[in-house]
A = this chain, B = another copy of it.
Amino acid sequence: MASPSSPPDPVELWPQVQPEAARRLMRAGLESFARRGYHATTTRHIATGAGMSPAALYVHFSSKAALLTEISRSGHEWTLSLVRQAVARGTDPVERMRALVEEFVAWHAEQHVVARVAQYELAALPEEAHRVVKGLRRETEQVVRSTIRDGVEAGVFDVPDVRVAARAVLSLGIDVARWYSERGPRTPADLGQEYADLVLRMLGVRPAR
């Protein structure tokens, strides 16, 4: 876990990427995509950021697009697995939804750079990667919807439209990546708890006090 004053090393997100040089390239790509945007980033920017030659980049990634694909796909897989694990921990719909929002929001604060690139550069993904990422997003949305639906069926949630509510829950979490800063007063975990309270109210749960 990173300290609140420095952004966490995204490399922890990519343990499966080997060798270490490939992870270094992903981190340099991530930084440049976040700062300049995907289209303004060249493979030279990425290689230089990783302290390597442009030719060395191609040993690990066939293109800039392949590197974006790996960042985006792994970020989306991570969040899907995060929400799946959160809702699998209990049976009470209120507690499952609380865990889901806490984890989803905290991740988007902690990994705001990864999340911004994954969210804002969707249109830059090659067609096949776009299809895969869209599938992961659909699955994540299904987890949220079915958790809301369980709560509605149990009589603890009350929403006019499950799809709109699910979209709003995800939207609140994703938008954290746009504005979150380590220099602000809130830790990712604080924010997750505050947002979980707000979401539960939005879903019609009265705060117990």
Given known contacts A37-B39, A39-B37, is B160 in contact with A171 (CB within 8 Å)?
no
Are A178 and B174 within 8 A (Cβ)? yes
**A195 — which chain B residues lie within 8 A by C-beta?**
164, 168
Considering only residues 39-55 of chain A, those with a C-beta below 8 Å from chain B are 39-40
- The chain B residue with its CB closest to the CB of A161 is B194
Stoichiometry, as copies per complex, reads: 2
Interface residues of A in 121-172 (CB under 8 A from B): 123, 158-161, 164-165, 167-168, 171-172
Interface segment among A8-16, A61-69, A80-88, A198-206: the answer is A198-206
Chain B residues with CB under 8 Å of A201's CB are: 201-204
- What's the nearest-Cβ distance from chain B to residue A200, in Å? 9
In the complex the two chains form, is B164's CB within 8 Å of A175's CB? no
Is the Cβ of B174 less than 8 Å from the Cβ of A172?
no
* Chain B hits for A160, CB < 8 A: 194, 197
- Does chain B have a CB within 8 A of A119? yes
Give the residues in chain B near A58, CB-CB below 8 Å: none
Question: How far, in angstroms, from A21 to B166 measured CA to CA in the complex?
Answer: 43
Cβ of A57 within 8 Å of any chain B Cβ, yes or no, is no
- Nearest-CB residue, chain B, relative to A171: B175
Give 1 or 0 for each of A17-37: 1 = CB within 8 Å of chain B CB: 000000000000000000111
Can you list 26 pairs linking A and B with CB atoms under 8 Å apart? A35-B123, A36-B37, A37-B40, A39-B39, A120-B178, A159-B198, A160-B194, A164-B191, A164-B195, A164-B198, A165-B198, A168-B195, A168-B198, A171-B171, A171-B175, A171-B178, A172-B172, A174-B175, A174-B178, A175-B175, A198-B202, A199-B202, A201-B201, A201-B202, A201-B203, A204-B207
